[in-house]
Structure 1
Amino acid sequence: MLLEKRNAIVYGAGPIGRAVALGFAREGATVHLASRTAERMDAIAEAIRSIGGAVDTATVDALDEAAVTEHAESVATNSGSVDVSINLISVGDVQGTPLARMSLDDFERPIHTAVRTTFLTSKAAARHMIRQRSGVILTFGGVGDPLRDYFIGGFQVAFGACDTLRRQLAAELGPYGVRVVGLKTGGVAETIPESFEGREALVKSLVEPTMLGRTATFEDVGNAAAFAASDRAASITGAELNITCGAIVD
C-alpha cells in the first residue's frame, strides 16, 4: 500500500474531504479527520472503518490558529508523525452572482478564508515535517481559465492566491525534504447536488472543455491525492497534478 504507516490529517468533512480521506485509508494511512461538523465527520470515519481503515476524529476550527496547532501537536505526539496534510474546508464562496453586482463581503470571504486556513494548517504541519525532514502538504483547486457562462465570485481568486502560497511553501520547505503539491480538477461534477437549479447546464459547462468527455470523479480525486502523498511521487513538488480530464492543458 502506498501510505502504510503514514499519518494524514484531512481538514474538512465535505464530499471532497470524504473522497480524499477514503483514498488515503485505502492505501494504508491512518487518517486524522479534523472538522467543525461532527456528524459528517463521523459518517466519513464510519466509511473508513467499514473498509478496514484506521481513523481518528477531532472537532477543530481550521481558522483558529491555536486549535490547529494543538491538533497537529496531538497527532505528532500520539501517533509519532505528521506525514500528510490537506485542507479541504468550505470557504463560504457565493456563486451565480456577477462580480459587478456582488457585495465586497461576499467577494472577499472565500479569499480571506482560503488563504488564512491554508496558511495555518500548512504552518502547523510544516513545524513537524521540518523536524522529521519529510512530509507532504497537499492543496486542492488550482488555477485555470474562468468559466465564461457561470459566475464564481471570489472562488477562483481564492484558488489563485492559494496557488501562489503553495509555490512559496514548496520553495521554503524543499530543503527539509518536505513536498508541497496541488491537485487541479477543473471541477468535479459529483459535487453538484441533484437538487441544484441549473445543474444540467453547469455540469455541461464543466464537461464540454474536457478531452475525456467527463470530469474527475470522487474516486479519481482520492486516488490522485494518495499518489501525490506517496513516495511514488517523491520527485514532485511546487507543481500541480492536472486531473482535469484534459479541460486544462498545461
Structure 2
Amino acid sequence: MSLLAGKNAIVYGGGGRIGSAVASAFAEEGARVFLAGRSLSRLDAVAERIRAAGGSAETASVDALDERAVDEHAEAVAAQGGIDVSFNLINHGDVQGTPLVDMSLADYEQPVVTAVRTNFLTARAAARHMTKQRSGVVLFFGGAGDPVREFSVGGLQVAFHALEAMRRQLAAELGPHGVRAVTLRTGGIPETLPADFEARQVVEDSINGQTMLGRAATLADVGAVAAFVASDRARSMTASTVNISCGALVD
C-alpha cells in the first residue's frame, strides 16, 4: 500500500525545484496534492506531470505571505476531506554571496521576515484543521546549521534558526492534539543552484566537500524522505529534525 494513500497534502511553492520534487513524491505515494503558489503556469506544469504519471494534483494561485489568501485556501482544501500534510517550500528571497559587512539591512532581514511570516501563516492555517481531526503533519525545511565559511549566505541561517524555534513550539503545542511537526535538513542541494550563478561551482564543491558520503542530497532524496516522514509509518516522529545531509551536518 502506498505511504500516503487517501491523504491530502498542501505544498506551498509547489512550482519550484524542491516543491515540485516533494509534490511529485507525495503524489507517487498516493496523496492528493494541492499545489499552491503565485505562478499558476508553473504550478499547472507540475500538476500536468503528476497527472501524466497517474497521480492526483490540483493547483491554486496563493500568495503564501497573505494571511487571508492562506486561510481561505486551507479552508477550501479542508472541505475536500481535511488537511493531512502541509509543507511550505516557497523561496525566502535570500541574498547570497555578499559579506554581512557589505550587506544592506533590507537584504539581510528579507529571508528572516519572509520565512517566519509565511511558515507561521501556513502552519497555523493547517494546524487549525489538523487539531480538529486530531492528526496531521506540518513539515519545515532548512534546519539550524553552522555558517558556510566558503560563501556568504546573508540572513539565511538566521531564518532557518527562527523556523526551528517555531517548529519546536508548534510540536509542543500540537502534540496533545495528535499533530506532528518535523524539519528536514539537507545541508544544501546542488541541483537547486541556478545554472548561471557565477559562484555555482564553488558552492557545489563546498556542499559536496563537507559530506561524509562524498555527495549531497538530491531532489529525489528530499522527496522520498518527505513522503516517509509525512506518512503514518513515521507517526512517532515529532519535535525533531531529519538529517538528510549525507553527513555534512553532524547532530
Fold match by TM threshold 0.5: yes
Q: What amino acid sits opposite 1:242 in the alignment?
A: N
Query: Would you say 1:243 and 2:216 are equivalent positions?
Result: no
Aligned to 2:26: 24
Q: What amino acid sits opposite 2:140 in the alignment?
A: T
Structure 1 SS opposite 2:224:
helix
Q: Distance in 2 between matches of 1:110 and 1:130?
A: 29
Aligned to 2:11: 10
Q: Distance in 2 between matches of 1:124 and 1:201?
A: 39
How does 1:82-231 map onto structure 2 within 5 Å? 82-231=83-232
Q: Distance in 2 between matches of 1:194 and 1:73?
A: 38
The C-alpha deviation readout for 1:88-138, integer Å capped at 9, x for no partner, is: 001111000001110000011110010000000000000000000000000
Poorly superposed stretches of 4+, deviation over 4 Å: none
Structure 1 SS opposite 2:35:
strand
Return 29-38 or 187-196, whichever deviates more. Answer: 187-196
Give unmatched runs, 5+ long, in structure 2. none
Residue 40 (structure 1) shift: 1.1
Residue 193 (structure 1) shift: 2.3
Q: Distance in 2 between matches of 1:153 and 1:47?
A: 35
Structure 2 SS opposite 1:111:
helix
- Identity across the alignment (%): 62
Q: Distance in 2 between matches of 1:50 and 1:147?
A: 39
Structure 1 SS opposite 2:86:
strand
How does 1:3-82 map onto structure 2 within 5 Å? 3-12=4-13, 13-77=15-79, 79-82=80-83
Q: Distance in 2 between matches of 1:141 and 1:25?
A: 22
Using the size of structure 1 for normalisation, the TM-score is: 0.98
Structure 2 SS opposite 1:72:
helix
Q: Distance in 2 between matches of 1:223 and 1:52?
A: 17
Q: Distance in 1 between matches of 2:242 and 2:225?
A: 8
Using the size of structure 2 for normalisation, the TM-score is: 0.98
Residue 231 (structure 1) shift: 0.7
Structure 1 SS opposite 2:147:
coil
Q: Distance in 2 between matches of 1:144 and 1:160?
A: 8
Q: What amino acid sits opposite 1:31 in the alignment?
A: V
Q: Considering only aligned residues, what root-mean-square deviation do their CA atoms show, in Å? A: 0.6
Q: What amino acid sits opposite 1:36 in the alignment?
A: R
Q: Distance in 1 between matches of 2:242 and 2:49?
A: 26
Q: Distance in 2 between matches of 1:133 and 1:187?
A: 33
Q: Distance in 1 between matches of 2:198 and 2:102?
A: 20
Aligned residues: 249
Residue 38 (structure 1) shift: 1.1
Q: Distance in 1 between matches of 2:123 and 2:216?
A: 28
